[in-house]
Every structure is written in structure tokens, then in C-alpha cells.
Amino acid sequence: MPALSAFEYAVIRVVPRVERGEFVNVGVVLLCRQRRFLAARLRLDAGRVRALAPTLDLEPIAAQLDHIPLVCRGGAAAGPIGELPLYERFRWLTAPRSTVVQPSPVHTGLCDDPPATLERIFTRMVL
């Protein structure tokens, strides 16, 4: 049995009207520092978001969400943030903000397979 490694994750949410606090989970970002793993899984369900905000323009939200996997992968394509170490990119992605796209609080756990853990959390929290 492979050794367990600590991981951290946050759920990415679309909050159409920040003042109401209603949200739709649209993704998960997971960091396993010990295994040098940082990845995101995202799915913007237009129907769910439109149930809360029928007139919300989803195009800029989708564009913002598209940047999350770039930051996870790192490198020049992600801009200056992409040059930061793995854990700093995770901290940047999960920093609290008052915008339409927000992370949940960060949660922790143990896993032996970070990609499978990301998929499991994504299925449970988003799908």
C-alpha cells in the first residue's frame, strides 16, 4: 500500500450575487505538496447558475475559470503567478475574495493518489 500524503483542497464557487451568499460549486483545486501535485477540475453548469441569476453573463466567468488550470500547471502561460512555487500558486488560487468566482475555505486530508482524490472530491462536490 502506498504511503499516505497530506493534501489540501478548495471548492471553486460561482456567487452570482455576492450580497445574497448563494453559490454554485463549479470546481475543485487540490494541492499535494509532498507529491508535487497541483491541479483543478472545473465544470460550469450554466443551468444551475442561471437558476440563481438568469441574466448573468457567463462568458467572463468561464474565461476566469479557464485561468485556474493554467495557474495550476504553472509556467509563462499563467503569467507572473505561474512562476511561483506550487504551494504559493495554490495559496493565490484559494485566497478569499469578494468576486463572482470565489474559493471555499481550504480543507485537508490524506491520500495515496492525488489525481483520484481530486476526481472523487469533484464528483461529490460539483457533479
pLDDT digits over 37-92, tens only?
999 999 999 999 999 999 999 999 999 999 999 999 999 999 999 999 999 999 99
Q: Output the pTM of the full model.
A: 0.95
CB atoms within 10 A of CB 90: 25
Q: Is the pLDDT of residue 7 over 90?
A: yes
Q: Does residue 86 contact residue 78 with C-beta atoms inside 8 Å? A: no
Cα 69 from Cα 49, distance rounded (Å): 21
Banded pLDDT at 25 (limits 50, 70, 90): very high
pLDDT recorded at residue 91? 98
